[in-house]
Amino acid sequence: MIFDTTALIQTIRKGSEFEEGSISVITLIEFLRGIEDKEKRKKSISLIEETFEILDVDKEVVLSYLDLFFELKKKREMASDGDALIAATAHAKNESVLTLDRDFLKFEPMIKVNLLQPSPR
């Protein structure tokens, strides 16, 4: 299972129930750019690396991105590059995406999307 940024944030906020899974390097970037303090970023990277496999954007992901891009184009739909790269990572690795973001549903049936419910604050 590939966690998108919203699922990663919710998982970290819960603090206890970490599920096994992976994240795209794009998710890591999106998450870390929200942490201005350099020391907190370093600690966050360590926690994430201990918990999740971090998947790079490789040739396989690039080809999946293009497949998804042109499928959406046929349907006259668009997605942000970040979302599309996360979806492409899942597609390339034959995994599903765990997210709170309903925008990922546009990638179905090319990838399986598991929608999370927001946690009460």
Residue with tokens 């999307």: 113
Every domain of the chain and the residues it spans = 2-115
- Please name the residues in contact with 83: beta carbons below 8 A apart, sequence gap of 6 or more: 4, 101, 103, 104
30-73: pLDDT as tens digits? 999 999 999 999 999 998 998 899 999 999 999 999 999 999 99
Phi, psi of 35 (to 5 degrees): -115, 105
Please check whether residue 49 is in contact with residue 28, taking contact to mean a CB–CB distance below 8 angstroms.
no
CATH code that applies to domain 2-115:
3.40.50.1010
pTM (2 d.p.): 0.90
Residue with tokens 């042109």: 70
- Please name the residues in contact with 63: beta carbons below 8 A apart, sequence gap of 6 or more: 92
